[in-house]
A and B are shown apart, each in its own frame.
Chain A
Amino acid sequence: MKKQNPNLGKYILDSLSIGMYNRPFLVLREYIQNSTDAIDELTKKDDLKASKSKIDIQIDGRTKSLTIKDNGIGVPANKAWHILHDIGKSIKKLTNNRGFRGLGGLGYCKELQFITKARGENIYSLSIWDCEKLRRLIKDENELSTSDIIKEITEFKQDTYTESLDDHFFMVKMLNLQSSRDFLLNVPLIKEYVSQVGPVPFSKESFKKANIIEKTLRTNVPNYETYNIFINGEKIYKPYKDIVILRGKHKDKIDKIQFFELNNNENRLAFGWLAELQLLGTISNSAHFDGIRVRSGNILIGDKLLLSDFFRERRFNNYLAGEIHIIDKILIPNSRRDDFEDNEIRDDFYDNFIRKIGLPYSKRIRQLSLERSNNNKLRKENDLLDRAELVIERGYYSVKQKEQLIEGLWELINSNGDNSEYIKTLINNLQISKHFVDLQKRRYSKNKYKFFKSAFDIIYCECQNKHEAEKIIEKIIAE
């Protein structure tokens, strides 16, 4: 049988846009990635210093629009139509693991525009995509092919550029944004997202280790680069800070950085850094840098939990802060960028991570937490003994207090066994100990005596925190 031309149906468009970027922020990530590619193309020619590169994100609440503009290489006028309208032709460049994908925005606005100009040309190109029409045509019953639909919904213009001939840029405009819960208009959330996902620099102001990390990454990770990204005028940095807020009351500090390499038999696969923390607990969610995060081309792969599966307990990942930057060209992010393409190198990468970080840190975290809980127990036990001795000497404030102390001491005997002779003496002495007021009887009038006894009882029984209760009672006595 003769081979026939297969038909590419219109649903391909659907899967390349709405289907693939099922979360609105992923669109943002793809456009940022395109911009860094365009900037890299230009830096390769040494036309532009990386420090002068700029990716500008403007979010306008009044017009409900989002614009991403970069001063990268731009698209020359004679290539613009093809580059902006051909689908699936963009070369996925193995050299930097990134590639042009432009259609993600189709799913989240009514109109999508690409505007671009290359240096030295006095023409700019504009491509307008009617997203509402696209959705209608996909839903309708018709026999249109993908290219039929693109012809239907796009409009292409070129015009004279009146400003500087030297200008070069690429701009994506999403007009009339429609995203669930208006995520694409949520400026604080987008800042948080870009600071954690985007290829932005460390903040030298709030993170002392920024310089050393930046320097070491540059020498060890080829292609390592940071980009100046602005959101409504504010420059975005990675969220790392010297002070680490932990969940609960504790705090920790990043004083020392450890660098490591992941490899298999033949290749260096990745290079990473890790803050040397005391491993007291999980880092607070709100710090936005908990967990070791994986980056390729300095853009996050997956989310902060990508590596959690490779610890003995998933939460152990959140005890740590650090980054792993992918080196190897065979370790390619999958098209959703939530993990790598499935191959043996991927297994090698995770396996080496388990060996160097996942298992040793799981072990350490568990040991430390065991030590802490033992210390904690010891502290509580000592506290109990101190209080018992105090009560014996000075008298108790409430029968309830005495009973609770005796109960606690019995538990101690049952759980440890050792030192029990001493504790049994304490219990005996407690049982024959007297009420504080009884011991001070002479100092109080009959009425005061009665009042104190019942007041102390009430305070002690009603207060949840018995330490607090004792403090209050002591204050009353001091008065």
Chain B
Amino acid sequence: MDKNILLVEPAYKSKYPPLGLMKISTYHRVIKKDNVRFVRGCDPRVRDEYWDRVYITTLFTYTWDITVKTINFYRETLFSFARKIYIGGILASLMPDELFDATGIQPVVGLLNEPSKIEQDDKEIIDDLIPDYKILDQISFDYAHKNAYLGYTTRGCPRRCKFCAVNKFEPEFVPYIDIKNLINNVKEKYDEKQNLLLMDNNVLCSDKFDEIIEDIKKCGFIKGASFGKTKRKRIVDFNQGLDARKLTEAKMKRLAEIPLEPLRLAFDDIKMKKSYVRAVNLAHRHGQKNMSNYILYNYKDTPNDFYERLRININLNEEFKKNCSSSEVKTTIYSFPMKYIPLDARKRNANTENTHWNTRYLRGVQVILNVIKGPVMPGKQFFEQAFGRNAEEFKDIILMPDEFIRNRLKPNWNKIKSHKKRLAPYVKKWMDIIGKLTELEKSNLVNILADNNTDNIRKNYEKIKNKKIKLLLEFHLLSKEIVTKYRNEKTES
């Protein structure tokens, strides 16, 4: 009673409200009648108050630096009384010992499903509590998905994919959780939410799948349902994606009964092509108009098959377009390339074992994605403009200097019909020269550019005899000047 509880989310970017902290808030604020405060990042204003406990959540391992900094800030804020600090969440569950070494605090691993994990004096299972939406009003930060019920209808995943962390913190597959309870409670205690965001890791593996769909429908999420006075469309999103291999005719039929938007599928490996394409067509046949597709790269794939997977989606989109009457809404698939980051990586650009990719290639893809702001558009023309017309051209593009990739087209390109004539002169030159390289020369160039290190490029530039490669390296060294010069000339004329 009356304890002062501080909840902290390190100031990393996040679209989703911190569900774990929200449940802890319910435990302390609603059940224990404590005073709860929620902050993001290192907030100097809380240093004047006394805190009985501080809970710090963690997310992706690559937010390591900011997470450690935040923990140490609050440790200092508490005059080093580390026993009052509880750290949990994904990073903490994946790298507990590393985090201990960096902070001196042993984190809580996994879900809060046992009272002993945070030395509770009661038997409440915090993971089962209704999240406290009220604490979100305490901060100015706006989560994109604030206006949704956040929950799970299953927990864990029966698969054991090596690239995925789910098994580390949710090792057991729980095939059914009653979502009705959560939704009714949130509705009653806070307010009614427009959308339903389900973070299930593999709901299609549940043998209670029919019941789950029934539950969702009972809560008002039926296809075509609307919300509020303005009649906004209600949406259900299994935002961690569905397992294409498990999507059967029967299950798709059930999914079509709820306003699923989008249907998310994963296309992690080119070997899954058959089952993936089958699943997309199946969804299309059942009237699923909006699809989204996670494309894992940099795990065991090659740049070629990465391009191939993007291309498959473009082809599917083209097909849907062709067979679609003008009055109908056409089915579209957006691709979301997702770079593989090792499960214990402390930085986004951590090294993986994959030798098909290198720093230059990864950087190139990132620059393209930055320009298009994430999802890969369904249109063929746009796609080919951004990623190239074939895998070879794709690789030639991502080898370019960042500045070239960003400024590939002439300012008035959309008035020019010919693909080639749209290119800025330096890009055209780059493509011409790189197209003329022999296989050996090309692999030489890739080797020099691989680690995307300017000093290394300069060193090689100075000693290399091959004129074509030398010129391409020069582009890398002078890219900024070349682009600026071209731009200035254009604005003057």
Contact = CB atoms under 8 A, between A and B. Distances in A.
A466 interface: no
B50 A309 contact: no
Contacts of B47: 312
Interface in B49-81: 49-50, 79, 81
A354 B50 contact: yes
Contacts of B50: 354-355, 359
Contact of B49 (A310, A347, A350, A359): A359
Nearest to B47: A312
A347 B83 contact: yes
Nearest to A367: B48
A362 B79 contact: no
B48 A354 contact: no
A354 B79 contact: yes
Interface residues of A, number: 12
Interface in A352-366: 354-355, 358-359, 362-363
What is the predominant secondary structure among interface residues of chain B facing chain A?
A: loop
A362 B83 contact: no
A350 B49 CA distance: 15
Interface string B175-216: 000000000000000000000000000000000000000000
B79 A310 contact: yes
A363 B79 contact: no
A350 B79 contact: yes
Contacts of A355: 50
B111 to A, nearest CB: 29
Nearest to B48: A363
Nearest to B83: A347
B81 A347 contact: yes
Nearest to A362: B48
A309 B76 CA distance: 11
B45 to A, nearest CB: 11
B452 to A, nearest CB: 45
A340 to B, nearest CB: 15
A363 B48 CA distance: 6
Nearest to A350: B79
A359 to B, nearest CB: 5
B130 to A, nearest CB: 30
A351 interface: yes
Interface in B79-95: 79, 81, 83
Nearest to B80: A309
Contacts of A354: 50, 79
Interface in A331-375: 347, 350-351, 354-355, 358-359, 362-363
Nearest to A311: B79
A274 B197 CA distance: 56
Contacts of A312: 47-48
Nearest to A355: B50
A363 B47 CA distance: 9
B8 to A, nearest CB: 18
B48 A351 contact: no
A354 to B, nearest CB: 6
Interface string A295-312: 000000000000001101
Interface in B83-123: 83
Contacts of B81: 347, 351
Contacts of B83: 347
A309 B78 CA distance: 11
Contacts of A350: 79
A351 B78 CA distance: 9
A358 to B, nearest CB: 8
Contacts of A310: 79
Contacts of A359: 48-50
A309 to B, nearest CB: 7
Contacts of A362: 48
B34 to A, nearest CB: 15
A434 B32 CA distance: 75
B24 to A, nearest CB: 21
B6 to A, nearest CB: 13
A362 B44 CA distance: 13
B110 to A, nearest CB: 27
B74 to A, nearest CB: 14
Interface string A206-219: 00000000000000
A199 B396 CA distance: 84
Contacts of A363: 48
Interface in B234-284: none
A302 B319 CA distance: 82
B470 to A, nearest CB: 54
A312 B76 CA distance: 10
Most buried by A among B47, B79, B81, B83: B79
A309 B49 CA distance: 16
B121 to A, nearest CB: 11
A362 to B, nearest CB: 7
A312 B49 CA distance: 11
Interface in A273-312: 309-310, 312
Contacts of B79: 309-310, 350, 354, 358
A54 to B, nearest CB: 42
Interface in B35-53: 47-50
Contacts of A358: 79
A89 B20 CA distance: 56
A315 to B, nearest CB: 16
Nearest to A310: B79
* Best-surrounded residue of B48, B49, B81, B83 (most CB of chain A within 10 A): B48
B118 to A, nearest CB: 18
A312 B44 CA distance: 11
The listed residue with most B CB atoms (<10 A of its CB), out of A347, A350, A359, is: A359
A5 B49 CA distance: 56
A309 B83 CA distance: 18
Which of A309, A350, A351, A363: most chain B CB closer than 10 A?
A351
A299 B477 CA distance: 73
A138 to B, nearest CB: 39
A347 B50 CA distance: 15
Q: Shortest 9 CB-CB distances between A and B: which pairs? A: A355-B50, A363-B48, A359-B50, A354-B79, A310-B79, A351-B81, A359-B48, A312-B47, A354-B50
5 contacts: A354-B50, A354-B79, A359-B48, A359-B50, A363-B48
Interface of B: 47-50, 79, 81, 83
Given A347-B81, A354-B50, A355-B50, 9 more contacts: A309-B79, A312-B47, A347-B83, A350-B79, A351-B81, A358-B79, A359-B48, A359-B49, A362-B48
